[in-house]
Structure 1
Amino acid sequence: MNSLKVSFIASIQQVSSSDWDNLMGSYPFLSYRFISILEKSGVTGKGTGWVGHHCLVHKGDELVAILPLYLKFHSYGEYVFDHAWADAYQRYGFDYFPKFVSAIPYTPITGPRLCCAEGVDQSDIIPLIISEIQKRAAEIEGSSFHLLFPDQRLSQSFSACTDFQRKAVHFQWFNRDYTSFDHFLAAFSSRKRKNVRKERKRVVDAGISFDVLTGKEIGFEHWRIFYKFYVLTYAKRSGHGGYLNQTFFELLSELMAESLVLVLAKREGRYIAGALNFKDTDTLYGRYWGCIEEHECLHFETCYYQGIEYCLSHGLGRFDPGVQGEHKIQRGFEPVYSYSNHWIRDDAFRVAIENAVNEEKPYIEAYFKETLTLVPFKKEV
């Protein structure tokens, strides 16, 4: 019987696309094309702080498991915030970086991370992978390993081999067999339903209409305009032009057109805002947004209501618009937990960080319960 063997690769180009995608399913952010687009566009790789270190598990000559993995030299683009941990290391004269992170770069979307071949038991794979990552961390003096935004079941499976689990609260929309947007709003309380309709009317009254483009309908000019929105909005919000470059979006159009839904807002004959979404067989994923004009409720309509409309018209069961944003609740998005798992190599820092995480847990759980009381749906009698 062939034993399991772990190896690490610096680039997805070191494995065949068929071998990779055979394990990954329909989740777009782990597809060979998406990971290779990140590399080819230069938003990951040398000089970006995201250096590929993907973990492969073979049984003989057969690839039976993959864990996307990066060697990180900063904490940007992760959205599970550990800046305080890095600051603590620095204050005591230690290096927090490099660290190992299993995540989708710049993509805080819950989904699969460890992908295994049919008939392969994750419980056999996880201890082996963690052991090899720990050995590699010792060799390069890496501080830690972090698994970000796994689904709940995978997070629980990793808990046995990592030090602690961390939770956060985000918001998603679920299709409860709605037949239309009005049917969806019928589940709201009267006051909340009126608020949504007022918001949508404000956008219409401002003379704004929408083009919803998919696949090859998204042309070069659309990408040029959207990239301008993206850069300007990031610069205004964060002081830099965003993590992604124009080449990234051009490669998306070339290699992943069937996975894209671009919502463009138009006023007086020109586009003024846009939101780029991804999709798979059941879920719409909201990812990038930008605008050149500010209008009341424009962001809500472009990023949320248009996405819900798309899910309803195409039979999608879920809309994950990304992290953060309590403002999503009153618009029909429901609280859900997201998860991360962490292993810290240094004993003293491990204890201190785990204590801090344990201290925040009751506040996270109380916040979750509070947000449940804020959802706009009618109370069940």
Structure 2
Amino acid sequence: MAAAASLKPLPFSIRFPSERHHKILPRRSGICALFWGARKTSEATSRQVDFSLGDFTLASPAVEDAAAVGTSPAKFSVSMVSSISEIPPQEWDACALEASGPEKFNPFLSHGFLSSLEESRSAVKETGWVPRHIVAKDEADNVIGVVPLYLKSHSYGEFVFDHAWADAYYSYGARYYPKYQCCVPFTPVTGPRILLRDSWYKDQLFDAIVSGLKDLVVKTQVSSIHVTFSSEEEWITLKNKGFLQRKGMQYHWKNRNYNSFDEFLMDMKQSKRKNIRQERKKISVQNLTMKRLRGTEIKAKHWDAFYNFYRNTTDNKWGTPYLTKEFFHIMGSKMGDNVLLVVAEEGDELVAGALNLIGGDTIYGRLWGCHPRAYYPSLHFEACYYQAIEAAIELGLKTVEAGAQGEHKIQRGYIPVTTYSCHYLVDEDFRKAIGEFVVREATQVELVMKVIRDSGPFKEGIA
């Protein structure tokens, strides 16, 4: 489901506008190499890190906010922590909830999910994800803003391709890694990334945190910072602060106030509707039973089985299992009813599963796997897409967000939506060259989305 990015890398070259920094090295064996300045080592970022990003004084509020000043801080500080465990869960979650609003609650931004990644050793230094979360506190030491941030030594598990950028840096003798990544590890989920308590001064806080992030990139001598799968609002705001804008694409299912799965099917073109019904019939013919489990219904045996299914998928498709077995157990215990595990049983045996998280108005489909010994036709579509649609209708949720990649989702009712990311690169020449690339790439993404929508699976007049 979330096996790769929504689009494959586009065949665009990155054009460098100037060669004023290039050094031509002496020829060896007839090969001439071009380098961009002196090659640097990773030692620049291994020195002791200053975890303070500054103290800030609030400017006077607007007239309409003046009444709130008496209960507001005059100053706040911004700093960095090396583990999310250093931030109280209730304070982190208050920032995450108020940043989006309860109706848009995103479970991937919760302390429970992110701490599960660290506690299970899935997103830690040894796997190339060094936690460097940002926290803003007021004068009373209350947490008023947080940012999930990681120092990365590679680009795996991000779902926004920048390997070509790294290769370009390397070709010119510059160092692309390490870099800072503001995201949810291993999860192409859209949502706010700078998570702030709702207050009259949140715009000032946002500006201070962004300024601190940019200073951090320079101070620690890394190449860049990347804010991936951000909200559209952040994407627009960060452009004015020197970040490059990049677009991507995912496939989401939209609930048009359906009362049943059959009602949803009636909005589909006849050929698509017939295909879905045929696929669903194959499940019962194979003597498979589908179950949707939540919270305490999910036992340790389910997580053990699901981890084996997950490993079967990674071994066959990705090659690298990002998540440990402990992650699923820890995350399941922390997230409670926000977890929806779809399982398929053949008799009394679990043979497949699909992991979903439930947010304020969205079901997020993430991981899938099945028993390696047999092939079950159409089971992937049933477990990942149709069960999620049925659950969304049952729970009255607006969207099923099925992760990255997957043109096969279109004929099953999932339509393309735009995703956003923002990129700040220190080197001016690289920033200009990559800026030209992302503009051309966005044009291609928009064209692909239009073609898909114009030939979509729904009847004419149904957006």
Shared fold, TM over 0.5 = yes
Of 427, 433, 443, which aligns to 1:362? 443
**Deviation digits for residues 259-314 of structure 1 (CA, Å, limit 9, x no counterpart):** 11111112244221110110023211101110123222111111000111111112
Q: CA deviation at 1:15?
A: 1.7
**Deviation digits for residues 168-197 of structure 1 (CA, Å, limit 9, x no counterpart):** 111101110000000000111111111111
Q: CA deviation at 1:329?
A: 0.9
Letter in 2 for 1:43: S
Of 303, 311, 335, which aligns to 2:392? 311
Radius of gyration: which is bigger? Answer: 2
TM-score, normalised via structure 2 length: 0.79
Of 134, 147, 151, which aligns to 2:227? 147
Distance in 1 separating the partners of 2:282 and 2:237: 47
More displaced, 162-171 or 201-210?
201-210
Q: Are 1:31 and 2:103 matched, yes or no?
A: no
Q: CA deviation at 1:347?
A: 0.9
Q: Are 1:16 and 2:95 matched, yes or no?
A: no
Distance in 1 separating the partners of 2:152 and 2:95: 25
Q: CA deviation at 1:134?
A: 2.1
Q: Are 1:291 and 2:370 matched, yes or no?
A: yes
Decide whether the 8 Å contact of 1:329 with 1:374 is kept in 2. no
Aligned to 1:173: 253
**Deviation digits for residues 113-166 of structure 1 (CA, Å, limit 9, x no counterpart):** 112112244432333222222222222211001111112122112221133110
Deviating 4+ runs (over 4 angstroms): none
- How many aligned positions are there? 380
3-state SS of 1:136 partner: helix
Q: Are 1:342 and 2:419 matched, yes or no?
A: no
Aligned to 2:127: 48
Of 266, 288, 292, which aligns to 1:212? 292
Distance in 1 separating the partners of 2:335 and 2:289: 26
Aligned to 1:232: 312
Which segments of 5 or more consecutive residues in structure 2 lack a partner in the other structure? 1-72, 98-104
Of 246, 265, 278, which aligns to 2:357? 278
Letter in 2 for 1:308: I
Aligned to 1:300: 381
Distance in 1 separating the partners of 2:316 and 2:160: 22
Q: Are 1:373 and 2:445 matched, yes or no?
A: no
Which segments of 5 or more consecutive residues in structure 1 lack a partner in the other structure? none
Distance in 2 separating the partners of 1:250 and 1:269: 22
Letter in 1 for 2:385: Y
Instruction: Summarize the Cα distance change of 1:37–1:135 in structure 2 as closer, same or farther, 3 Å threshold.
Output: same
Identity of aligned residues (%): 40
TM-score, normalised via structure 1 length: 0.96
C-alpha RMSD over aligned residues: 1.5
Letter in 2 for 1:296: P
Letter in 2 for 1:314: L
Letter in 2 for 1:44: A
Q: Are 1:5 and 2:85 matched, yes or no?
A: no
Letter in 2 for 1:3: K
3-state SS of 1:327 partner: helix
Instruction: Summarize the Cα distance change of 1:82–1:330 in structure 2 as closer, same or farther, 3 Å threshold.
Output: same
Distance in 2 separating the partners of 1:172 and 1:57: 34
Decide whether the 8 Å contact of 1:123 with 1:157 is kept in 2. no
Decide whether the 8 Å contact of 1:10 with 1:51 is kept in 2. yes
**Deviation digits for residues 217-239 of structure 1 (CA, Å, limit 9, x no counterpart):** 11111111111100111111122
**Deviation digits for residues 301-354 of structure 1 (CA, Å, limit 9, x no counterpart):** 110001111111121111111011111111111110000001001111111111
